[in-house]
Amino acid sequence: MPDPTAPAARAPALPRLTFLGGVGEVTGSCHLIETAHARFVVDCGLFQGGRDAETKNRHDFAFDPRTLDFVLLTHAHIDHSGLLPRLVAHGFSGPIHCTAATADLASVMLRDSAHIQQKEAQWRQEHAADAPRHGARAREARRRGASDDPLYTIEDAERVIALFRRHRYGETITVAPGVNVLLRDAGHILGSSTIEVQLAAGTSAARTVVFSGDLGQPGHPLVRDAATIAHADTLLVESTYGNRLHRTLEATLDELVEAMTDALEHRRGNVIIPAFAVGRTQDLLLLFLRLTREGRLPPMDIYVDSPLAAAATEITLAHRAELDPETEELARAVRGGSRRAPARIRFSESVEDSMRLNDIRHGAVIISASGMCDAGRIKHHLRNNLPRSECSVVITGFQAQGTLGRRLVDGARRVRLFGEDIPVRAKIHTIGGLSAHADQGALLGWLGGFAQPPARTWIVHGEAGTAEIFAQAVRERLHWAAQVAAPGQQVAL
């Protein structure tokens, strides 16, 4: 029974912000804003990697999806968009505001993600009581929170796609009474946005909350550099690589050339490249075209073995007016380039095409998804090439804790693939300078574009130690009041 002498609980001050995902880690991005007139989230991403990712993905949302008025989506990557189908399945039916390119990319990515969810659920159902190795794998999946039912379905994904509302960079959008939104180029992948949210406050001046989204490294191939933001009262800034500096692009290309030449010419093997289907695959294709044209790499056959990457490449070429002029060369190579061109790009369109790649013993460059090696066709190519000392695996993107890619980067001598114990004899190369995420220097440079420090700066989207290192750098170098956000933390705006 409540204590009648206790002070009455006060209603929470509005507007307020709640950190729900992408806090203390780099996946599952989701932030809730509540005002007197609107309730909405910025991003609704899938948790990836780690032993509890499946449990987090299946857990009830910290809010009732039916009460949300709309969603703001920074970009298409699954760690920012991948739980939207589950949000819709639980009752959300409002608009999802993003750029046109993000809507196009997210449409193919969410269909692909839903397909994977359904296939994995089907596998668990079929093998639950199968041979011991299958039974053990299925039991382990359940122990980690997996269900025999898919996380969501293709029908759920289609319902999300119908809710996308497309906007241009620099366009002011009135999304609710007292809530205006502006999308700026984040320079991360095609269509990626930094989001400015202006909240009216009665007779007081409007408050501006800025969500950096994922920021790109300046000078990165394909995309333009991130736009400068002048003002924020409250800022949320990512910190994926907030604890380190990337190699320069030129030094990175030297490293890439060395790794590729070693495998293709000296050891006469294959090169397997796990790559994010959106962004990283297109970056790599551009760079390989450049390096072979310049004679720094030998003529090569490049196989893109990912239906999602093929679709993403077509979408990229459809939006190339928003990208660097160099994408014209990619368009020519993909759409009828010369057979005698030094870099021949081929897309695997079927499962049979993918399986035929297993017969190639040397000279193949196979780019495949997923980028963290945890799903998709890349696992088959790793199973066939990891045991071969003449081959190389080139890691070009961030590998989250708990993923197969992270285990390879950390030097695992053996890994489990399809229930088999696979020896790692291939060379593992980590090429960090190709990251689509800004490093510490670039993040600090972007923050330096603000006309004055935000009243509050929250560090998000970084593993716990990395986020704290970056917060300290912001405090010491910019003299800003910066702190690391905590999961579930609520702050008044």
DSSP string, 69-131: -EEE-----HHHHTTHHHHHHTT--S-EEEEHHHHHHHHHHHHHHHHHHHHHHHHHHHHTTSS
What is the spatial distance between Cα 355 and Cα 377, in angstroms, rounded to a whole number? 9
How many Å apart are CA 457 and CA 132, to the nearest integer?
A: 51
The pLDDT of residue 323 is 85
pLDDT of res. 2: 44
Amino acid at 267: R
From residue 381, give the alpha-carbon distance in Å to each of 197, 274, 279.
Answer: 44, 9, 21
DSSP 255-298: HHHHHHHIIIIIS---EEEE--TTTHHHHHHHHHHHHHHTTSS-
pLDDT score at 141? 52
pLDDT, residue 178, reads 93
Give the amino acid at 172.
Answer: T
Q: Are 23 and 463 in contact (CB under 8 A)?
A: no
- Using a 10 angstrom Cβ sphere, with 0-12 exposed, 13-18 middle and 19 or more buried, the burial of residue 188 is buried
Determine the Cα–Cα distance for residues 295 and 190; give it in Å rounded to an integer: 28
Residue 374 confidence (pLDDT): 85
- The whole-number pLDDT of residue 135 equals 52
- Per-residue pLDDT tens digits of the chain, which is 493 residues long: 444 444 444 445 689 999 999 999 999 999 999 999 899 999 999 998 777 899 999 999 999 999 999 999 999 999 999 999 999 999 999 999 999 999 999 999 999 999 989 988 888 787 775 655 555 555 555 555 456 799 999 999 999 999 999 999 999 999 999 999 999 999 999 999 999 999 987 656 789 999 999 999 998 888 999 999 999 999 999 999 999 999 898 999 999 999 999 999 999 999 999 998 998 999 999 999 999 999 999 989 999 999 999 999 999 999 988 888 878 888 888 876 555 667 889 999 899 999 999 999 999 999 998 888 888 899 999 999 999 999 999 999 888 888 899 999 999 999 999 889 999 999 999 997 888 899 999 999 999 999 999 999 999 999 999 999 999 999 999 999 999 999 999 999 9
Nearest to 34 by CA among 82, 86, 8, 70: 70
- Between CA 483 and CA 321 the distance in angstroms is 38
- Domains of the chain and CATH, by start: 16-243+436-492 (3.60.15.10), 249-434 (3.40.50.10890)
Measured CA to CA, the distance from residue 161 to residue 296 in angstroms comes to 42
Sign, CA dihedral 234-66-184-275, equals positive
Helix, strand, coil fractions of the chain, as percent rounded to 5? 35, 20, 45
- Looking at residue 470, its pLDDT comes to 98
Instruction: Name the residue type at position 260.
Output: M
| Phi-psi region at 202: left, alpha or beta (left = phi > 0; alpha = psi -120 to 50) | left
Instruction: Tell me how far apart the alpha carbons of residues 367 and 459 are, in angstroms, rounded to a whole number.
Output: 33
Q: Which of 218, 216, 211 is nearest to 459 (CA)?
A: 211
pTM here?
Answer: 0.87
CA distance readout (Å), 190 to 129, 331, 418, 460: 44, 15, 33, 22
**pLDDT recorded at residue 11:** 46
DSSP run (H or E) holding 201: strand 193-201
Complete edge-to-edge strand list for the sheet that includes strand 16-21? 164-167, 96-99, 70-72, 39-42, 30-34, 16-21, 490-492
Cα gap 177→20, rounded to integer Å: 24
Q: Give helix 440-447 / helix 464-473 axis angle, nearest 10°.
A: 50
Give the angle 175-26-78 at the CA atoms, nearest 5°. 60
How confident is the model at residue 143, as a pLDDT? Answer: 53
Q: Do 45 and 80 meet the contact criterion of CB atoms below 8 Å apart? A: yes
Task: Give the model's pLDDT for residue 146.
Answer: 54
Rounded distance, CA 101 to CA 422, Å? 39
- The Cα 25–Cα 48 span in angstroms is 10
Question: Torsions phi, psi of 280, nearest 5?
Answer: -65, -40
